[in-house]
Structure 1
């Protein structure tokens, strides 16, 4: 079967995007309904402002992951792999954190929950520090330093034993 992997990726992308849109629609509708009918939380401004990144990312995922078909129905482009690691994974994480905060804001009924959105830049800083620490000379000791502290082969161990005896 020609282009089997492309067809499989296109199918996986369509399923992931459909689930993303359904969950997003359900949670956003539930939040707005709870605001209007239950008056929880007190204001909708944080929801509108802090859900904006998730909505933009949802649009970006839609554009890059949606497969493109020719007029005759054949697959032209399966779209980017939405399950790949890296930036796409980070985009999904932002969407998931936003969904979790939406649910918590509905349950708790206060906008204080939106402070949990600070988890995203804190985690990004943690990852950036992990990438930058070897470049800055911080972190684990260099292998050369470890080699000085402990003999690596039999000849070096014998030499250190003989120097200790004399």
Structure 2
């Protein structure tokens, strides 16, 4: 059963990588044809500066996700990493697709469309902030319940307890 899962992962990774490589080749070819053959103001500096990291990312994803077969080519040695994994792999796909979209926008409009790429660092800062705040919130609850107590060492009331107390049904408040 495990071999079947590995074979399906290998097939899925191969299809995804093939499709990604074809799209990348097509987009970069169109950009370069428009740059060199049609006299429209396009600069190669932002193209190289912003396109090269995505080519490196694509190469890395190919290295970790490409299935490996035995010498005779019949049996599967490794299926490669799951390219649909969350976390850093998902972020790399986001950067890759966003840059491809920016290249298409530059082909359609002009070099000002490279400013769309500014979304990537902003998104990175947002992800880092939410991660740090999530970790901070997680560590806040590990202090032995120190943050959950009210004034005077009393445990705060739940909504139901607060409603009953407001109506006049007095309940005993717990002490920590």
Q: Distance in 2 between matches of 1:17 and 1:119?
A: 25
CA positional deviation for 1:129: 1.4
The change in CA–CA distance for 1:145 and 1:46 in structure 2 (over 3 A counts) is farther
User: How far does the alpha carbon of each residue in 1:22-76 deviate from its partner, in whole angstroms, 9 at most, with x for none?
Assistant: 0000000000000011123432121111101110000000100000011132001
The change in CA–CA distance for 1:135 and 1:64 in structure 2 (over 3 A counts) is closer
Corresponding position of 1:161 = 167
Instruction: Pick which of 66-75 and 25-34 moved more.
Output: 66-75
List alignment gaps of at least 5 residues for structure 1: 138-142
Q: Distance in 1 between matches of 2:149 and 2:32?
A: 59
RMSD: 2.6
Tell me: higher relative CO, structure 1 or 2? Use CA pairs within 8 A at least 6 residues apart.
1
TM-score normalised to structure 2 length: 0.79
Q: Distance in 2 between matches of 1:131 and 1:6?
A: 32
Tell me the number of residue pairs that the alignment of Structure 1 and Structure 2 aligns.
157
Report 1:1-16 matches (<5 A). Answer: 3-16=3-16
Q: Distance in 2 between matches of 1:105 and 1:25?
A: 16
Richer in helix (by share): 1
